[in-house]
Structure 1
Amino acid sequence: MSEPEFSPLHQISEAEDIGRFQLSNPLEIGAVLRQLQSRGDFLTVHFARGQQLLLTRLLQVDVPSRTFCFDWAGQEGLNRALLGSDRNVCVAAPDGVKVQFVIGRPREARVDGKPAFISGFPQDLVKLQRREFFRIETPMASPFLGRLMLAGGQRLQLQLHDLSLGGIGLWASAAEAQLLPRGLHLQEAVIELGSTGSIEVDLEVRSHRVMTTRSGEERFHIGCCFINLTRIGEATVQRLMAQLERERKALTG
């Protein structure tokens, strides 16, 4: 496998109070691993006492046997080093929700005729089921827009799906999503917020996932975080979110 264009995920700080987020039931652990597999989320494996890391994806999850397989890396030296590592910390972040678990030394396996790693389930798994920022979906009838400038002067105009004080979610086609790999920095993006006006901010692409619209169309959701949102911009977003929440409550009663 070639190395994906992706920013590796850091381990959860030891200062975090994670006790209430720990799962130890194998069925619950299997459900989380299966979700990572089905979504195609990236997994960062930290090993060699945190000195090395490998970016991968889950390929198979077998709950009855309490095992799972993950993809072979493009660098053979990394693969061999991981096969000799006794303690490996695995980190993922589906939709910004941090998942972390520790596995022992994996073994080499074959999946669909290709080399892969196989490991037993972890003894426990941490799923930080919280978000730093509340998100709200943006209007569909009169959509907000993100105007992005790519390297080489190429411009993209994408509709917003959601908004928070931490960032935005954008709708994109498969072709547009290819232009926005995880970890990409977008400078001086202009976010048009309807009658509220617009803000200019740098963005970092953090996540990709496939979503189905209300009309049944399959599109990509591109999650981006704000890099340098000003206090004025933050106040603008906060007021707009409060307005959207009031409108939503008025419609739903």
Structure 2
Amino acid sequence: MMAPDLIPTVPETGVEPRESPSLTAALAALADFRKTHPKEIISLLRQLARHRNVLNVSFGRNGERIVTRILDVDEASGSFLYDYGAGNAENLRFQQSEENLFSGMQAGVHIKFVCGRAAPDLHDGLPAFKSQLPESLYRIQRRENFRVEMPIADPYVCTATLPNQRRVRFNLVDLSLTGVRLRSADVDPDGDELTIGTTLTGATFDYRDLGTMESDLKIIIFQNAKTSTDPIYHFGCRFLTLPKAKEASLQRFITFLELRRNKR
């Protein structure tokens, strides 16, 4: 959890779940990406909590913001808890805001949603904010950057050379025309120097009966998807040496996987 400051709170006046008309109008152009089914919204918020994805919350006429993470989603009460921001003054002003725009990234996809006034609460004995679940959520995945999730039970494999020249195996999490997300519980990010900006050379992707592909990769996102004592590391990577001639084959492969997922 982010380290919040203990601050005085403003009187609670209730939590307003409806979207602000002004923000709703601003998001109207994203209608194609709008999710309104409560179960789907709850699932997406829980994914953000599980992966500890950072969210920016914009509020107020002067464009102030706090940085937070979702801590818990309570379907029964129709609410969710999230971290205090870093500063006392910002947290206090945030509690007075009637409209708040949450935005962040989850698995390479932009997430946006609007909530009303936040109420002070507690989570595991520490101060947190509580808001009603949004009535809608925007999951913005542009076609040119479309990412398809890989099979979990029988994952596709990528083998690459680390900076220390060790050859290691990763499982594929998701895939797009521009990059891939890899997963491993075996590598040591510190010992293997797998920091953001690191290049993985000679990466070979084994798609089994669909063939293979090779490209160097650059790490642009790093995340521990579980805990420090039971880690599963995720590495968001960009293709560096993918030949243009391979892009059409990669697009067909992505389309094939998405169609197969939709039939389930």
Same fold (TM over 0.5): yes
Instruction: Name the structure 1 match of 2:185.
Output: 173
Question: Over residues 103-140 of structure 1, what are the superposed CA-to-partner deviations in whole Å (9 max), with x where a residue is unaligned?
Answer: 122121112211000112223222336662455859x9
TM-score, normalised on structure 2?
0.62
Residue 186 of structure 1 pairs with residue 197 of structure 2: yes
* CA displacement 1:33-89 (0-9 Å, x = unmatched): 234334433322223457443332222222333221111234334322322333211
Q: Which runs of 5+ in 1 are unaligned?
A: 4-13, 211-217, 247-253
Residue in structure 2 matched with residue 119 of structure 1 by the alignment: 131
Match of 2:57 among 39, 42, 45: 45
Kindly provide the amino acid, as one letter, of the partner of residue 41 in structure 1. Answer: N
Matched with 2:220 is 204
The residue type equivalent to 2:221 in the other structure is V
Asked if structure 1 preserves the Cα contact closer than 8 Å seen for 2:183 and 2:235, the reply is no
Matched, 1:55 2:71: no
**Among 123, 140, 145, the residue aligned to 2:159:** 145
Indicate how the Cα distance of structure 1 residues 143 and 221 shifts in structure 2: closer, same or farther if over 3 A, else same: same
In the superposition, relative to structure 1, how do residues 171 and 63 fare at CA in structure 2: closer, same or farther (>3 Å)?
closer
Match of 1:96 in 2: 108
Q: Distance in 2 between matches of 1:49 and 1:92?
A: 20
Deviations 1:141-160 (A, max 9, x none): 995323344xxxx6775423
Query: Deviations along 1:1-55, whole A, 9 cap, x unmatched?
Result: 447xxxxxxxxxx688422332334454334323433443332222345744333
| Bigger mean CA deviation after superposition, 47-56 or 85-94 | 47-56
Deviation track 1:219-245 (CA, whole Å, cap 9, x = no partner) reads: 625242327x35x64445655786899
In the alignment, the residues of structure 1 paired with residue 103 and residue 85 of structure 2 have an alpha-carbon distance, to the nearest angstrom, of 16
| Counterpart mapping for 1:1-253 below 5 A | 1-2=1-2, 17-49=29-61, 51-128=63-140, 132-135=145-148, 143-149=157-163, 158-162=168-172, 163-173=175-185, 176=188, 185-193=196-204, 199-205=215-221, 209=225, 220-226=232-238, 229=240, 233-236=243-246, 239=249
**Maintained 8 Å contact 1:201/1:226:** yes
TM-align CA RMSD:
4.3
Identity of aligned residues (%): 25
Deviation of 1:90 (Å): 0.7
1: CA distance, partners of 2:196 / 2:35: 34
Q: TM-score w.r.t. structure 1 length?
A: 0.64
Three-state SS of the structure 1 residue aligned to 2:49 is helix
Aligned length: 221
In structure 2, distance between residues paired with 1:60 and 1:188: 35
* Cα contact 2:119–2:131 (8 A) shared by 1: yes
